[in-house]
Chain A
Amino acid sequence: MLTYNLRLAWKSVRRYPVLSALILLGIALGVGVSTTFITAYHVLARDPVPGKSESLYYVRMNSWGAADDPFLQTPPPIVTWRDAQELLKSRIPVHSTATFASRGTVFPADGARPLRQSLRLATADFFPMFAVPFRYGGPWSREADAKPETVAVIDSALNDRLFGGADSVGRTIRVEKAELRIVGVLAPWRPRVRAFGLFGSPLQAPESIFLPLALTGPMALQPNEGQMNWRTPAPGEDKLPYASRLMVNEILFLGFWAELPNPESVKAYKSFLDAYVTEQKKHGRFPHPLNNRLTSILDLMAELKVVPPQTKALAAISLLFLVVAALNLIGLFLGKFLARASTVGVRRALGASRWTIFVQHLVECELMGLAGGALGVLLSLAGLAVLNRVYGDGPAGVAFFQLDVPMVLAAVILSLLAGAIAGLYPAWRICAIPPARHLKSQ
């Protein structure tokens, strides 16, 4: 029966090509526009580290000095080197890391002109915490952090450029004055939200070289993104190399993350932090009232407004657009169906039930809906390509906005819905017509 209905639908399409094309175009536009903007919203609002977002916490402590400044009542978004070193010792979190972004010069082995690259310093835990994908090798060990060993993980784009995409694990790369041994090469990686770095645009692509945090001093690397300093350096202190100042002064520059898998560990870690700050108060640090914050990654995204509110409005408006497009098609379907009312009259007279006629026409509407939906998905690919042009592509051509399975499913459902909105009333109208009226005027 379905194949018969499909055949009838196909015949009807062929008989009214212009009308059918208009209907198709209407559905395609509606589905295309709404799929584009719903995908944009979905990509931005989606779980940034699937399976981990519940357990990743960002750590803030109020280490500001100058107790009388009301602005300093809220904890700074980053922590100092000395606090990070103490927090890293805790074994309550499954993983924890302190991290910052820097820049450095890479000197290619063949003596070619050096390259300026973005660097991220972190501890070994960084990679499992943020589910960083590897193509070759893997992260460095915790021992490498402790020593520290001169090792590095590079991204696939840099690996392509320096080593022609070959497995470069075990080879060395010169960054500033250090020869670093490559232990891992990343697979093309475009995290939805660059949650690990709070500064700059949250949608920026990640850095291209990753190295142990403990190399900061030996390699004299400096923070390239945010740093905050409330304390005026003591006399003579400003003569120290900057990297040493980072370690002894109260300069804030590290983002601190802890992976706490259950409520008990969150509670335990919270008391650990409170105990640490209370202890530090005895040494004259942390003059502000106890105000430690553990913020889950999803709450942090909301706080940083990673998803612009307008994106949500745009997704809602695009859904309404689909509804209007479908409403418009009611008229077209009505015209198309009533034009062949006489055929329906004959079928009814020959014994077809109202239900059969209704189903036949609804099948045609849904068929048009699905075909228009397929076209709409193509349109949304074009729309997303435009969005990607503006947001910029990730490393090795990993586009930022991509259709995924849930979104394609959503597009299918939307097109069936559009077909139903547009087709239910015309299908009902045509099957409600008494056969005699159309038989008479033959």
Chain B
Amino acid sequence: MEFGPIFRSLLRSRARVILIVAEVALTLAIVANCLSLILDTRAQLAKPSGFDDEHLIAIQATPFDDRLRDPKILDQLVEQDRRTLRAVAGVRAVSHTSLRPWERSGSITAVRLPGTRNEPARTQSAEADPGLFDTLGLPIVQGRGFTQAEYDQGGDAPLSEVQPVVVSRALADHLYPGGGAVGKPIADADESQRFTIVGIVDHFYNPFGETSEKIMLLPARSASFDYGSRYLVRTQGNPAPLMPQLEKALLGVEKGRFIKLRTTVENRDEYHGRDRLLVGSLNAVMALLVLVTALGIVGLTSFSVAERQRQIGTRRALGADRLAIVRHFLLENWMVTSFGVVLGVLLAYGLNFGIVTWVAGARLSAATVAAGALALWTIGLGAALGPALRGARVQPAIATRNV
């Protein structure tokens, strides 16, 4: 290989070399850091809720008609609503619950083991009917769910009565690290209310407040005039087309109320809005950057090929074949790109240090940098290929003209 001559010829066009090295280095630094930020954010976005998000619709029915101020009528309405929703074709399960997946809303309460002064554990709490587990697609892995009787008396039970609760694995393990939480008691922080764990659900993730994995579910009918009734509907197929039908069905039961429907996927996307926007922006910046840099390398290489037509002609006339010319330019470009990549790796770590120190984010992983370096090598070679092929087409006769 003709490393020596190529290196010496590079020394003669320092400006071009410095430019390409700088471009490649900066591009690598930016791409590696963008990739790192994207991977970091993606990890957040990919956390599964444990629910059948893709088939869920959240419905809120808020009354305005004065007749509905009577709690008895509201309770009857819940029964009617549930029956009506379940009867709609394409509906798989229905639950009346105050749990709002991905909506950044709900209730947080502090619980601990009765009779202890441990620091209370903060957990989300929600009211639910027996159908919730089926509707969410959240299986009970230990113990049992709620009975209809527990649900029917749940809302009216006096505070002194011990209530059955279903908790998530995270809460159970926090309170009873040794396991065997089913059947064990818990109490709220001032011990005014006591609960017995009757069942455990394995995976629960619903970011809200200080806790995302701890939940305590109580059997109760949580309907009120001011906050309305809330339902979750699990559909067999795509939920969106069913929404108008569900709305009509509910208004058919009682029209003196507002009905708001949203798919859980909509709510989830809104929850992730900022992060999705960030990933989208970073992708766009990266793509544009790579495009601009590739164009720049094409430009500079074409320029250098055009400048050296006569030399190419001479070499061809002296017996070099076309492949040798292509090889010369690719090799030259590869050497320059490699300088850039080496410098770029250093710059990438420098930039990452700055971002982590002054802004936020994760440390750059070696794999990310390696991926970026590999990508830039490929792009550098690809960008040089066109001009190099054009250079190879130079006729040997050029060398004899104009001397």
Contacts and interface: CB of A to CB of B under 8 A. Distances in A.
Interface string A21-38: 010001001100100010
A317 B37 CA distance: 11
Nearest to A23: B299
Nearest to B40: A310
A321 B226 contact: no
Given A316-B359, A328-B299, A425 B292 contact: no
B299 A232 contact: no
A279 B227 CA distance: 37
A325 B295 CA distance: 10
A200 B104 contact: yes
Contact of B282 (A314, A323, A330, A387): A314
B367 interface: no
A334 B30 contact: no
A321 B15 contact: no
Nearest to A441: B402
Interface in A393-421: none
A142 B35 CA distance: 56
A321 B288 contact: yes
A387 B277 contact: yes
Interface stretch (A63-71, A79-87, A152-160, A365-373): A63-71
Interface centre among A22, A200, A324, A327 (most CB of B within 10 A): A324
A7 interface: no
A71 B110 contact: yes
A309 interface: yes
B117 interface: yes
Contact of A314 (B15, B188, B258, B278): B278
A153 B13 CA distance: 71
Nearest to A177: B66
Nearest to B298: A331
A163 interface: no
Does more than half of chain B's interface fall in helix, strand or loop, or is it mixed?
helix
Contacts of A232: 159, 188, 190, 192-193
A327 B22 CA distance: 8
Contact of A324 (B23, B159, B284, B360): B23
A105 interface: yes
A327 B19 contact: yes
Interface string A55-78: 000000000001011110000000
B189 A66 contact: yes
Nearest to B23: A327
A309 B360 contact: yes
B273 A321 contact: no
A318 B62 contact: no
Given A33-B285, A328-B295, A71 B277 contact: no
| Band of interface residues on B | 35 or more
B359 A313 contact: yes
Contacts of B34: 317
B289 interface: yes
A330 B20 CA distance: 10
Interface string B213-229: 00000000000001100
A222 B120 CA distance: 28
B3 interface: no
Nearest to A330: B19
Given A33-B285, A200-B104, A429-B15, A327 B296 contact: yes
B16 interface: yes
Given A70-B119, A310-B278, A390-B273, A318 B285 contact: yes
B296 A331 contact: yes
B322 to A, nearest CB: 24
Given A320-B30, A324-B27, A310 B360 contact: yes
B41 interface: yes
Contact of A69 (B37, B41, B62, B119): B119
Interface in A102-156: 103, 105, 107, 114, 116
A293 interface: no
A317 B120 contact: no
Interface in B290-314: 292-293, 295-296, 299-300, 302-303
21 contacts: A22-B295, A29-B288, A66-B189, A66-B190, A232-B192, A232-B193, A309-B360, A313-B33, A316-B354, A321-B289, A324-B23, A324-B26, A324-B30, A324-B293, A327-B23, A327-B26, A328-B295, A331-B19, A335-B299, A335-B302, A390-B273
Interface of A: 22, 26, 29-30, 33, 37, 66, 68-71, 103, 105, 107, 114, 116, 200, 222, 230-232, 242, 308-314, 316-318, 320-321, 323-325, 327-332, 334-335, 387, 390-391, 425, 429
Given A116-B62, A387-B277, 4 more contacts: A26-B295, A68-B117, A105-B258, A320-B351
Interface of B: 15-16, 19, 22-23, 26-27, 29-30, 33-34, 37, 41, 62, 64, 104, 110, 117, 119-120, 122, 159, 188-190, 192-193, 226-227, 258, 273-274, 276-278, 281-282, 284-285, 288-289, 292-293, 295-296, 299-300, 302-303, 351, 354-355, 358-361
